[in-house]
Structure 1
Amino acid sequence: MEHIVIIGNGIAGVTAARHIRKKSDKKITIISGESKYFFSRTALMYVYMGHLKFEHTQPYENWFWKKNNIELKEGFVTKIETDKNQLLFKDNSSLFYDKLIIATGSKPNKFGWKGQDLKGVMGLYHKQDLENLEKFAPNKGVCKRAVIVGGGLIGIELAEMLRSRKIPVTFLVRETSFWNSVLPTQESEMINRHILEHQIDLRLNSNLKEIISDENGQVKSVIIEETNEEILCNVVGLTAGVSPNIDFLKNTNIACNKGVLVNLYLETNIPNIYAIGDCAEQTHPIVNRRPIEAVWYTGRMMGETVAQTICDKKTEYKPGNWFNSAKFLDIEYQTYGWVFSEQTKSENEGCFQWQHPSENKCISISYDKNSHEFLGINTFGIRMRHDIFDQWLSEKKSVEHILEFLADANFDPEFYKSHEAEIVTKFNQEMSTNIQVKKKSWKRIFSKV
C-alpha cells in the first residue's frame, strides 16, 4: 500500500490528509513536533484572552484520526534522505515514505538582535508561544510591560491580547506609519489613531537595537536603535513577519530559496516530494501574488490541490482572486483584489477613497485610470460579501459598476447604518472634477440605497 507522509499538521497538511483519505485508501501519516492534534492557529489569541479553551481550537475530536485511519506521529524531522525515501528524526528513529508532502509552515523572523533568545522573548505562531505567554505574561503583576517589535497583523493581535490582561504595551514599528507598505495612507493613519486610543504606546520610526538580560537570563529591557532609550519590560514579542520553517532541509538536494521551490502543481525538484502552505515558494509567482503566501486559506487550497495530484488527478494550483480579512483591535478589515499603498501602486492605478467623518470606517477602491476596470477594494468597519467581489473581479467590471451596485455587496446586518449614498456622492464629485478621466467615458452613478 502506498504510504503518504506529511510533515506538519497545520491547515495545509491536515487538509491534504483529509482529501487524500476521501479519495483513496492510501496509508497516511502526519508528523508534528508542535502538538499531536491539529488546532486552529488563528484562534490562539482567543485562548489567551479567555474567550476559548485550547480544546475549542481543535476542529476534530481526538477519535477522528483513528476512525479515518490517519496515523499521527509526534517528532522532529532532522533530515530527508531523498535517495532512500526515508525521514530521520531527532530521536534517531526513521520512517519510509512513497510520497512526501512538506507542510512545515512558518517561524517568526529573527534578525540577529542581541538577546533575541532570552527567556521572555517569543513570537505568536506556535502553541509553545501561547504557553510562554502564560508563563511570562499571565497578568500585570508578573509582567509590568511588554514590548512588541514589528508592525503587522501578528503584532497588533499580540498587543490586543496583552492589553486584555491590562499589561502595558510599547509597540515598535520601523515604518513612518502602521503597515503603510500595504495600506493606503488614510487607512494606515486611521489605524495609528486607533492603536493610540487603546492606550498602546505606539513608536513609529523605531527599531530594536538589543534586548537586555537580567541576572537570570530573562528579559529586563530593550534599547531603541534611534534614541538609545531603554524601556524596562518583562516580555518581548518578535512579530517582524515570518519566514518558511525549512532549516532541516539545508543539507538535502531539495531545491529551496526562501521557501521550498515548487511549480504550479506544488511539485518540488525531487519526484514524489511536494510542498504546500507557508513553506512553499512558487518558482513562477501567479499574477500579482507573492511567491510565498503565509495565509490560512491558501494553505487550505494547496492541501486540496495536492491531494488531487497524489490521487492520480494531476491538478494545477489556482488560488483565484486575492482576498484576506483581519481585525485591527475593534476594526474589521477586508480586502478583495489589489489595492496598493502609495509606495507600490503603478502610475495607471487610480484610487477612490471615502472615510466616515467620525467613525472608524473607510473604503479604498482601486481601478485602472484608462479602462476604468475595477482592481480591488479595502474596507474597514464595513463588511462586504466575498462572493460578489470575487465575481466582479473575474468579470472585470468597471469601477462605475462597483459603485452603482455597492449596496448589493454589503454584508452588514440590516440594523447597521448604510453608507452607500454618501460614498456614491463623493465618487460622483471626484469623477466630475478629475481631469484625468474623460467625461465621455464616465457616467454619473445613482445610489441604489
Structure 2
Amino acid sequence: MESIVIIGNGIAGVTAARHIRKLAKAQAKKITIVSSETEYFFSRTALMYVYLGHMKFDHLKPYENSFWEKNKINLIKDHVTKVDPKKKKLLLEKGDDIDYDTLILATGSKPNMFGWPGQELKGVQGLVSKQDLDNLELYAPNNNTCKRAVIVGGGLIGIELCEMLRSREIPVTFLVREDSFWNGVLPSGDSAMINEHIQEHHIDLRLGVNLGEILEDKNGQVRAVTIKETGEEIPCNFVGLTAGVTPNIDFLKGSGIDMGKGVKVNRYLETNIANVYAIGDCAEQHKPIGHRRPVEAVWYTGRMMGETVAQTICGNKTKYNPGHWFNSAKFLDIEYQTYGWVFNERHKNEEEQHFHWRHNNEKICMTIACDKETRQFLGINSLGIRLRHELFDLWLTENRTIDYVIAHLKDANFDPEFYGHYESDIIEKYNMEFGTDIRPKKKSWKRILQLRS
C-alpha cells in the first residue's frame, strides 16, 4: 500500500488529504497527516473570533472528530525534527520514525523575527498558531492584566490583532514603519481612509516609525518598547510582532530539498526530489505566476494547491493554475475586496491609470485600475461595498473595459437589499474625470443567475 505522508494540518495539507482520498477510491493509499500544532484541523482565519468571544475554539473545526477515521486519514500530533529523503523517512520528536512513499510539505508560515532585542520575552508573539491564541489569553486577557499593548507591523494580521485587543478595552499603540497603513499594497486614497478609520477606533497609530527594542521586567516579561527613531519608551505588557510571515521550513535544512525563502517547486508543485511536493505558505515557485509573489501566504491558494497536488498524486498530472488574483480582508469593520491588480503608486507602471471614488461622509471607497491607452479593466479595490467575485473574474477573463465595468457596477453589487447603493455617485465622478457619458445599465439578473448556476 502506497504511504502518503503530509506534514502540516492547515488548509493546504488537509485539502490534499481529502482530495487524495476522494480520488483514490479504487487505489490502495495510506494517508497520514503529522502536525504538532493541534490534534485536529481548524479554520485558522477565524482564530480572532474566539478571542472576540463570537465563537468557541471547537466551532473552528469544520469536520467532526469522527471524519478522519471514517475517511481513513491517520492523524499524528507530533513535531517532525528531520526529513531524510534518501531513506524516505521522517524523524519525530516523541514518536516512532515514519516511512513514506510520497511526501507533501504543507508546514505553513511563522511570524517574521528580525532580531529585535527582547523578542524572546514572555508576552511577545505573533498571531499565526493555536498556541499564539492561548498565549494571548495568558498575557492579554483583559485591561487589568494588560495595561497597554504595542503592535508592530502595518499589515492584515496587525490590524486584526489591534481589533482583538480593543474588543477587551486594552489600549493599543500600532507601530507602522510605512508613512501610511499598508501602502506597500494599497493605493494612497484607500490607505489614507484606513488611517483615519484606525484612529477613529481609538488606536494610537504611529506612522513612519520602527521598533527599537523590547525591554524586560524582573520576571522576564515585556515591560516597554522603544521607538528606534526617537528613543521614546512606551510602557506595555504585550507586544504583537506582525511584520509579515516567512515559510516554516527550518527543519528541512540539510535534507537536500531545494529551498530559497520557501521550498522551491515547479508548476506541478514538485520539489527537486522525486515524490516530494510542497504546497501552501511554505511553497515557493521558481518563477512567479504573473504578478503573483513566488510565496503566497493566502488561504485560498493553499486550498487550490492541495486540490492540484491531489490530482497529480492520483495519476492526473495537473499544473497549479490559480487564475485571476483576488483577496478579501477586514479593516476593523470595513470589508475589503480586491480582484485583478490595483498597484500602489510605487509599483504601478506608466500604462496603468487609476480611478478613485470616496464617499463624502461614510468610510466607503473604490479604486479601479485600467490601461491608459486601451482602457482595459485591470483590477478593482472595494472598501465598504461587497462585490460579486464571479462577475469580476468573468470581466477580467473577457478583457472588458473600465467603461463597461463602471456601467455594470449594479450587477456586481452584492450588498443586502437595504444597504446603501452608490453606483450613481461613482458613475457621475467617473464621467467628470474621464470625459465620458456613461449611463448605468439595468441590473441583469439573468446574467447573475447564469453565473450562480
Measured against the shorter chain, the TM-score band is: over 0.9
Q: Contact 2:78/2:95 (CA < 8 Å) preserved in 1? A: no
Task: Report the CA distance between 1:92 and its aligned residue.
Answer: 6.5
1:8 matched residue in structure 2: 8
In 2, the alpha carbon distance for the partners of 1:75 and 1:395 equals 48
SS of 1:6's equivalent in the other structure is strand
Question: Take 1:340 and 1:34, find their aligned partners in 2: how far apart are those partners?
Answer: 36
Letter in 1 for 2:160: E
Q: Which amino acid aligns with 1:97?
A: Y
Secondary structure of 1:258's aligned partner: coil
Q: Which residue does the alignment assign to 1:405? A: 408
Give 1:448 shift. 2.6
- In the alignment, what sits opposite 1:71? 74
Aligned AA (1:280): A
Tell me what 1:94 maps to.
Answer: 97
Deviations 1:66-118 (A, max 9, x none): 11100000111111111110011123631000000000000000000000010
- Consecutive unaligned residues in structure 2, runs of 5 or more: 443-453
Correspondence for 2:451: none
Determine if the alignment matches structure 1 residue 243 to structure 2 residue 242. Answer: no
- Which of the numbers 212, 216, 219 marks the counterpart of 1:216? 219
Deviation at 1:417, TM superposition (A): 1.5
Counterpart residue number, 1:448: 441
Structure 2: distance between partners of 1:90 and 1:224: 39
Task: Report the Cα distance in structure 2 between the residues aligned to 1:286 and 1:444, rounded to whole angstroms.
Answer: 37
In the alignment, residue 219 of structure 2 is paired with which amino acid? N
1:196 aligns with 2:199: yes
Q: Are 2:381 and 1:378 aligned?
A: yes
Distance 2:165 2:82 in 1: 38
Q: Which residue of the other structure, out of 37, 51, 55, is the alignment partner of 2:58?
A: 55
Residue aligning to 1:20:
20
Deviation readout 1:334-380 (Å, 9 max, x if unpaired): 00000000111000000001000000000000000011110000000
Q: How does 1:78-89 map to 2 (within 5 A)?
A: 78-89=81-92
Q: Does 2:40 correspond to 1:37?
A: yes
Alpha-carbon distance between aligned partners in 1 of 2:59 and 2:136, rounded to the nearest angstrom: 19
**Separation in structure 2 between the aligned mates of residue 447 and residue 23 of structure 1, nearest angstrom:** 46
**What is the percent sequence identity of the aligned residues?**
66
Quote the Cα distance in structure 1 between the aligned partners of 2:57 and 2:101: 34
SS at match of 2:142: coil
User: Secondary structure, in 3 states, of the residue corresponding to 1:217?
Assistant: coil
Question: Whole-Å Cα distance in 1 between the matches of residues 75 and 57 of structure 2?
Answer: 19
The secondary structure found in structure 2 opposite 1:31 is strand
- In 2, Cα distance between equivalents of 1:136 and 1:292: 32
Alignment RMSD (CA, Å): 0.8
DSSP 3-state at the match of 1:56: helix
Q: Give distance in 2, aligned partners of 1:22 and 1:180.
A: 42
- The amino acid of 2:173's aligned partner reads T
Q: Distance in 2 between matches of 1:95 and 1:164?
A: 44
Select which of 155, 161, 165 maps to 1:158. 161
1 CA distance for matches of 2:198 and 2:402?
A: 32
Could you say what secondary structure the match of 2:212 adopts?
strand
The equivalent of 2:359 in structure 1 is 356
After superposition, where does 1:167-186 map in structure 2 within 5 Å? 167-186=170-189
Show structure 1 runs of 5+ residues with no match.
433-442
Q: Does 1:347 align with 2:347?
A: no
1:298 corresponds, among 298, 301, 306, to 301
Residue aligning to 1:436: none
Q: Hey, which bits of structure 1, 4+ residues long, moved more than 4 A? A: none
Q: State the one-letter code of the partner of 1:316.
A: K
